[in-house]
Structure 1
Amino acid sequence: MESSWSSSGGGLGSTDPQLQRFMEMEVQKQRVQLLIHHMTELCWEKCMDKPGPKLDGRAELCLVNCVERFIDTSQFILNRLEQTQKARPLFAESLSD
């Protein structure tokens, strides 16, 4: 007995391109959220010796630096992904020639 996926055209290979893009975007969002969660944990572990009612100057500076490095890294990664996306159609066209 065939599943509804295979009976509708051969499985994932025939998935609607719009649905594929949506799924890719959702996976990317999930990855970004996991990265943010992980970086939050790392910055907290690195900068917070003993939590108290107020941040001391050292902890505040450490958190600011950690977040700024995270933003810099995220921007670099996004720029790199954008360059990769722009290069992908050219690569695909050269394969089809």
Structure 2
Amino acid sequence: MSDLFSSSSSDLPAGLDNEKELQEFLLVEREKAKLQAQIHEFADICWDKCVDKPSTKLDSRTETCMLNCVDRFIDVSLLITNRFAQMLQKSAGGY
């Protein structure tokens, strides 16, 4: 029986044979988890902001609010991502 904290190479996803590959794999998985958490948080924020009372259909006001909320979220996410990329380029170019 395998211990939860020990693993053999057969327990790892295919292609993860060394420690560097494993670290990269774990980093990607952490980033995926962060993204999922952000999406859930965002959905909660937009829901609380836009939905007064749950029903079987969205009225036009609620639909418009949700669309605007999503659009602003995407705009801000892209802005932050682009700024971060610019900062990385500047810091990498400075060396």
- The aligned counterpart of 2:38 is 35
Paired with 1:59 and 1:84, the residues of 2 have a C-alpha distance of: 37
Give the Å deviation of 1:23.
1.8
Distance 1:17 1:88, change over 3 A: farther
- The aligned counterpart of 1:63 is 66
Paired with 1:28 and 1:80, the residues of 2 have a C-alpha distance of: 18
Unaligned runs of 5+ residues in structure 2 are 1-5, 7-17
Query: Which structure shows the higher helix fraction?
Result: 1
TM-score of the superposed pair, with normalisation by structure 1: 0.65
Percent identity at matched positions?
Answer: 43
- Give the SS at the match of 1:68: helix
Distance 1:64 1:79, change over 3 A: same
Give the Å deviation of 1:68.
0.3
Paired with 1:89 and 1:82, the residues of 2 have a C-alpha distance of: 10
Paired with 1:59 and 1:65, the residues of 2 have a C-alpha distance of: 10
TM-score of the superposed pair, with normalisation by structure 2: 0.66
Q: How many residues align?
A: 79
The alignment yields a C-alpha RMSD, in angstroms, of 2.4
- The aligned counterpart of 1:21 is 24
Unaligned runs of 5+ residues in structure 1 are 5-14
- Deviations 1:6-43, CA, capped at 9 Å, x for gaps: xxxxxxxxx83332222222111111110000000110
- Give the SS at the match of 1:50: coil
- Give the SS at the match of 1:52: coil
Paired with 2:90 and 2:21, the residues of 1 have a C-alpha distance of: 20
